[in-house]
């Protein structure tokens, strides 16, 4: 059964092709510190048998006020706590990836519109992502994920619906996405052993926003720049009313096309529920991995239960 074949990507050895997609926990302290409840969640996930885990939204900035309870690796003092988290997951022979994210940029406690940021402030954000990747490496993480989806900061910044800047970071696709490539290049330079993946919208589902054609161009450029894998998502974190065998895999059409045109592993998220459909996607397309969240919230041992199910 292809779902449960062992698989590899750069610096990652997975016991199967199921990945826990980043899931919001909202349990961290104000400074991003994590507690025993968080450790327990990840311990249960790792014991449940998933192939790899991507952490919940982990902000790169100590002054990111977009959410309460967000994880952060924005200061060196937090490395030891995240090292413990990594050790818990690694004890179950499961790799773990830190999702590097930013809700919004703040200046003097006020959220700043992406178009109002100075060029220096944009470069400051780029450095925050690079610095957090280094802390993730020091904590023992196997990889990092650049979160450029769901209309959080990077997703908004690269979207033509939002970015109206007139400097080197605005206008064309190349300029709007320059921020991604500078982050990627910086991480590769400072932590070359890390697996670097990105989560990106196939479509912003917003008037004037990023659409499939442009997203495909961006993804191909990311491959050329050395990204190690791409997780395909879309604006909005989830779709309600998913029924097994009916409307699961709602981002699969774009992911299938992308996987046909690049050799870099494609990870597809989006309402996976049934063994039959997941197996068919992995067997009949070039998609290499499937990521999921809600099934693992309900049943952390979902990867162990699925093989016994008929559907």
Tens of pLDDT along the chain (311 residues) come to 589 999 999 999 999 999 999 999 999 999 999 999 999 999 999 999 999 999 999 999 999 999 999 999 999 999 999 999 999 999 999 999 999 999 999 999 999 999 999 999 999 999 999 999 999 999 999 999 999 999 999 999 999 999 999 999 999 999 999 999 999 999 999 999 999 999 999 999 999 999 999 999 999 999 999 999 999 999 876 666 666 666 677 889 999 999 999 999 999 998 777 888 899 999 999 999 999 988 888 888 888 877 665 55
Query: Which has the closest alpha carbon to 54: 6, 105, 14?
Result: 14
Q: Within 13 Å and on the Cβ side, how many CA atoms surround 173? A: 13
Do the Cβ atoms of 134 and 127 come closer than 8 Å? no
Q: Please name the residue that has the structure tokens 């449960």.
A: 4
Judged by DSSP in three states, 280 sits in: helix
| Residue 57: both structure tokens together | 């939204």
Position 212 scores a pLDDT of 97
pLDDT at 239: 66
Other C-beta atoms within 10 Å of 13: how many? 14
N-to-C CA span, the chain = 13
């Amino acid at each position: 059964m292809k779902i449960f074949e062992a698989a590899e990507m750069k610096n990652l050895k997975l016991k199967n092709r199921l990945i826990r997609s980043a899931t919001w926990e909202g349990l961290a302290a104000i400074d991003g510190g994590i507690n025993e409840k968080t450790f327990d969640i990840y311990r249960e996930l790792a014991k449940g048998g998933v192939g790899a885990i991507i952490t919940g939204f982990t902000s790169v900035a100590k002054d990111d006020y977009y959410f309460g309870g967000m994880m952060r690796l924005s200061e060196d003092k937090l490395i030891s706590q995240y090292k413990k988290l990594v050790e818990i997951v690694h004890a179950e022979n499961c790799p773990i990836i830190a999702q590097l994210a930013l809700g919004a940029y703040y200046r003097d406690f006020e959220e700043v519109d992406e178009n109002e940021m100075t060029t220096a402030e944009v470069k400051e954000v780029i450095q925050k992502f690079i610095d957090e990747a280094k802390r993730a490496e020091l904590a023992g993480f196997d990889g990092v994920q650049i979160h450029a989806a769901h209309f959080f900061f990077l997703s908004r910044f690269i979207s033509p619906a939002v970015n109206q800047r007139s400097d080197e970071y605005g206008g064309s696709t190349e300029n709007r996405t320059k921020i991604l490539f500078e982050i990627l290049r910086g991480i590769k330079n400072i932590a070359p052993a890390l697996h670097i993946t990105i989560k990106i919208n196939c479509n912003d589902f917003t008037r004037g926003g990023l659409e499939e054609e442009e997203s495909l161009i961006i993804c191909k450029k990311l491959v050329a720049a050395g990204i190690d894998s791409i997780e395909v998502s879309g604006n909005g974190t989830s779709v309600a009313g998913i029924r097994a065998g009916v409307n699961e895999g709602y981002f699969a059409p774009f992911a299938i096309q992308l996987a046909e045109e690049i050799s870099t592993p494609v990870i597809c998220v989006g309402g996976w529920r049934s063994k039959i459909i997941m197996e068919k996607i992995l067997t009949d397309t070039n998609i290499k991995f499937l990521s999921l969240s809600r099934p693992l919230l309900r049943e952390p041992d979902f990867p162990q239960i699925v093989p016994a199910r008929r559907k």
